[in-house]
Structure formats: C-alpha cells, structure tokens
C-alpha cells in the first residue's frame, strides 16, 4: 500500500508528549534556499553526488527484514522527537521516488498492525541534518555538524526489508544506537499484545478472567511467584543487588488443561508487552533471532512460545531443529540481560532438549498442568451450570463420572448437556427461564464424548 503525505495514518499507542509532540513533521521542515540546492543536485546527478554536496563521510548502515521492518517503522515513528531532543535540525528532505514530480514529498508505504492501525515507512527518503558542535565552543569558523539520513523500505520483494544509512562526520554507529535506544523507550507498541509477525492481538467479546480458569492452587501460586519476580527485577534496589532481569518457565501437561488459556489471559490484560509465537514463527535461526530482538525492543516483554516440543526436540533423538541452537543462545541472555520473560508450552516435556528443560537461566522451572482433581472439577461444574437448574446429586454424579477428564473435555460435556436440555424442552420456554439439566442429559453428553460407554478412552476412566 503506497500513499503520499498528507493523508493521515492512525499511529499506534499513546499520543506522544514533550519534545516528540512539539517536533514538526520531518517532510515539512525545509528552507527555500536549501530546497533549491536539493533540486539542483537532483537534476545534476545521482543520490551519492547529492550527499557529497552536503557531507563527506562514510555511512553507518543498518538493514532489517521480516520483523526488522516493524522495528524500522517504530524507529521512524519516534525519529522527529529524537532529532529534536538531540539538537538536530532538518535542513531538507527529498524523496528519490518522486524526484521529478514532487521532490520534497516522500512516498510512504504502510505496514498494517491491526484492523485500523498502521505504521508508515518512507520508500526512499533522504533527510539532511545539521546541529551545532557541542565541543566547538566559541572557536571562530567552527561550523555545524552535518549528516544525511537515508531511509528506504522495500515491500516489492519477499521478505520485505527496510534499510537505514547515516552519513556523518560524527559517530554514525552512535547515532543509530542512540536513535534505537529512544525507539525502545518511546514506541507505541510497548505494553501492547501482538503476534510474532507484528500484528496486534485483537480479541472480540469479553476479556477472559483468571477466576474462570480453574488451576490447582499450587500451580497458580508458582505462576504468580514467577511473574512477581519478573516484575520486581526492574526495581532499582533489586537491580543494583544483581537480580537477573530475564526469566522463563515451561507449562507442561496433556492437552486441554489450561496452558494456552494462561497465554490468552496474559494477552488480554498484559502487565507489559506480550508477544505470542507459534512453531512457524521459529522456523530457523534468523526467525528466532529477529523474534527475540523485537521482544527486547519492546521490553519489558512476556514472550509466549506455543508447542515448544515442535522446535526444541532433543538432539539425542536425532532430529534437532535448525532453530534450537539460536533459541538456547537467546534464552542464555547472550545479547544482554534484558527484561524478557519467556513462557513455553508443551504436551511432550520428555522430548524437549534437556539443556532447555533442565537448565535454570533458560527456563527456571517447569509447571505441570494436569487434569483437574475432584475439588477443581466440582468448582468448574458448579460455575459452568450456575445459571441452570441442576440437582446437587446430579452435579456430584457428573464430577465423579469425569474423573481423569481434561478441562477441555469437561467443557465439551457441559456444552453438550446444555444443548440436549434445550432440545428436550416440550415447548419454547421464556428467554429468562433457566435451562433445566437432568442426569439423563448429563449421561447422554458423556456418552456422546466417549462414544463407547463400556470401553472408556484413556483419560476418562481410571483405566488406560
């Protein structure tokens, strides 16, 4: 999607404040004299000659693909405010995409984040910057420091990419590092929930609640402790004492017992940035590296990895993933101890590389989520049928009958029983009349799930 300014693009996150809000749009800042210089230079030769007329310095270069494009868009979003804070003034701006028709108007390509939110990136834009030399003092003849910033986004090829070059007599690498550091602090995606491909997690309907997720008390306590510790590591007193900022845990157990639901709850009301990743987002070492780099840019971050066993199978089994080594490196904190908490889920804990599952510092603990016990089943069923008519004896019977069932299986029995009770009503009841559920409906619902009542499937009866 291409468009030229000044058509508005909704910006994600909160409205900027301070210097960022006060800084004028980059494309609009130019003087008549400098515009003439740029136009003459454009007609005289290629971009390198144009740059040479302004500054004679080598370039520091950064280029990103895939998620790097998202990070480049975030950097562009905060650039105006960052330049103002650092004392840079934009003396001119020129887009080579439009040099014949409208050389001072950049073309933007839009990166979709959600249903109505976008990040914009310039296609091929040069910004000409100046600032006073802070070390020059009153020395006669001391001129300003100059720089040319080239921003280029290319969505015509797969994967898309974005590149940034800075030509300056100053330290170009330091310029980029300072700019990217500002991006990490100010960008509008910090504190949001998103998928690993950069799209926002936009859920419909009421947000899930912890009270509706029936976890064993010891499971909830261990999970709460891990999250509290992660949050506390950012307190100056504990950081000074050396408390590690990063952390991680594995949620393990049979399918249908709440592992993914924990992720949904965290995503619905995140205490910090939340990123949801699936095995397809960890296809190779480059994908793993970019995912963790995005998580660091948006830190503090909870990174939720679904089905870890599909990408981290043990090397001793003979089928190591190409991403396994990079995953261990990232979890080790090789790029630095950033506030990044990684939660992974698995149905097959035993097949995961031992250097991951038995290695504090990568994953500090493993929390098992098994089928609910009798007390949790009772709570689950009472909550599920609280708006229905159901005898206590039938509720107890169903709880005993579902010994060994997963939470997902119990939910399915409840849904089937409600539908059967509705269909069994002799005539259309009033909308406000509660559904009347009997043991007959419950038994039929269990039978539908089991299909063979005299030969229980594994997980339902006490026999496997």
Query: Residues 9, 118: one domain?
Result: yes
Domain boundary among the residues 368, 391, 407 is at 368
Residue 185 maps to a domain:
yes
Residue 232 maps to a domain:
yes
Query: Residues 356, 391: one domain?
Result: no
Residue 70 maps to a domain:
yes
Which pLDDT tens digits describe the chain residue by residue (464 residues)? 444 333 233 334 343 444 444 555 565 555 565 566 566 555 555 555 556 666 666 778 888 877 888 999 899 988 988 998 999 988 877 776 654 555 556 677 888 888 888 888 888 888 888 888 766 555 545 568 888 888 888 887 777 889 898 988 778 888 999 999 999 888 889 999 999 988 998 776 666 778 788 899 999 999 999 999 999 988 889 888 988 899 999 999 999 999 999 999 999 888 899 999 999 999 888 999 999 999 999 999 999 999 999 999 888 776 667 788 899 999 987 777 889 999 999 999 999 999 888 888 899 999 999 999 999 999 999 999 999 999 999 999 999 999 999 999 999 999 999 999 988 876 666 666 888 999 999 999 998 875 333 444 433 343 33
Query: Residues 248, 314: one domain?
Result: yes
Query: Residues 265, 138: one domain?
Result: no
Query: Residues 411, 432: one domain?
Result: yes
Residue 287 maps to a domain:
yes
Domain boundary among the residues 368, 397, 426 is at 368
Residue 264 maps to a domain:
yes
Query: Residues 327, 411: one domain?
Result: no
| DSSP collapsed to 3 states, the chain | CEEECCCCCCCCCCCCCCHHHHCCCHHHCCCHHHHHHHHHHHHHCCHHHHHHCCCCCCEEEEEEECHHHHHHHHHHHHHHHHHHHCCCEEEEEEEHHHCCCCCCCCEEEEEECCCCCEEEEECEEEEEEEECCCCCCCCCCCCCEEEEEEEEEECCCCCCEEEEEEEECCCHHHHHHHHHHHHHHHCCCCCCEEECCCCECCCCCCCCCHHHCCCCHHHHHHHHHHHHHHHHCCCHHHHHCCCCCCEEEEEECCCCCCHHHHHHHHHHCCCCEEEEECHHHHCCHHHHHHHHHHHHHCCCEEEEECCHHHCCECHHHCCCCCCHHHHHHHHHCCCCCCCEEEEEEECCHHHECHHHHCCCCCCCEEEECCCCCHHHHHHHHHHHCCCCECCHHHHHHHHHHCCCCCHHHHHHHHHHHHHHHHHHCCCCCCCCCCCECCHHHHHHHHHHHHCCCCCCCCCCCCCC
Query: Residues 354, 221: one domain?
Result: yes
- Count: domains in the chain: 3
Residue 309 maps to a domain:
yes
Residue 263 maps to a domain:
yes
Q: State the CATH number of the domain containing residue 423.
A: 1.10.8.60
Query: Residues 31, 168: one domain?
Result: yes
Query: Residues 234, 310: one domain?
Result: yes
Query: Residues 291, 347: one domain?
Result: yes
Query: Residues 364, 378: one domain?
Result: no
Query: Residues 350, 418: one domain?
Result: no
Q: The pTM is what?
A: 0.82
Residues spanned by the domain of 184? 2-189
């Amino acid at each position: 999607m291409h468009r030229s300014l000044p058509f508005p693009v909704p910006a994600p996150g909160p409205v900027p404040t301070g210097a960022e809000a006060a800084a004028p749009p980059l494309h609009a800042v130019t003087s008549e004299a400098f515009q003439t210089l740029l136009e003459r230079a454009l007609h005289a030769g290629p971009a390198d000659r144009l740059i040479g007329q302004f500054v004679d310095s080598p370039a520091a270069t950064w280029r990103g693909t895939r998620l790097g494009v998202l990070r480049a868009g975030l950097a562009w979003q905060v650039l105006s405010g960052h330049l103002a804070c650092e004392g840079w003034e934009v003396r001119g701006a020129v887009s080579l995409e439009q040099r014949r028709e409208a050389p001072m108007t950049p073309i933007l390509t839009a990166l979709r984040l959600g249903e109505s939110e976008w990040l914009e990136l310039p296609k091929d834009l040069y910004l000409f910057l100046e600032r006073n030399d802070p070390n020059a003092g009153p020395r006669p003849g001391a001129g300003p420091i100059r720089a040319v910033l080239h921003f280029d986004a290319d969505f015509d090829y797969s994967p898309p990419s974005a590149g940034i070059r800075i030509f300056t007599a100053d330290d170009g690498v330091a310029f980029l590092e300072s700019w990217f550091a500002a991006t990490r602090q100010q960008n509008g995606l910090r504190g949001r929930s998103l998928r690993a491909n950069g799209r926002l997690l936009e859920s419909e309907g009421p947000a899930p609640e912890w009270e509706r997720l029936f976890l064993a008390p010891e499971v909830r306590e261990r999970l709460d402790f891990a999250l509290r510790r992660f949050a506390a590591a950012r307190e100056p007193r504990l950081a000074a004492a050396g408390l590690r900022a990063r952390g991680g845990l594995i949620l393990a157990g049979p399918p249908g017992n709440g592992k993914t639901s924990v992720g949904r709850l965290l995503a619905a009301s995140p205490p910090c940035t939340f990123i949801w990743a699936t095995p397809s987002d960890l296809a190779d070492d480059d994908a793993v590296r970019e995912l963790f780099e995005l998580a660091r840019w948006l830190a503090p971050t909870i990174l939720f990895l679904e089905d870890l066993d599909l990408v981290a199978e043990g090397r001793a089994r003979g089928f190591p993933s190409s991403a396994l080594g990079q995953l261990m490196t990232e979890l080790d904190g090789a790029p630095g101890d950033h506030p990044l908490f990684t939660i992974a889920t698995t149905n097959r804990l035993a097949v995961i590389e031992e250097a991951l599952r038995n290695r504090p510092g990568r994953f500090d603990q493993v929390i098992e989520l098994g089928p609910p016990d009798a007390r949790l089943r009772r709570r689950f069923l009472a909550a599920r049928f609280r708006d229905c008519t159901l005898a206590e004896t039938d509720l107890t019977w169903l709880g005993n009958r579902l010994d060994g069932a997963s939470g997902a299986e119990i939910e399915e029995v409840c849904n089937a029983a409600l539908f059967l009770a509705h269909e069994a009503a002799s005539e259309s009841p009033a909308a406000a009349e509660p559904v009347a559920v009997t043991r007959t409906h419950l038994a039929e619902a269990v039978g539908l799930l089991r299909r063979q009542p005299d030969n229980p499937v594994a997980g339902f009866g006490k026999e496997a």
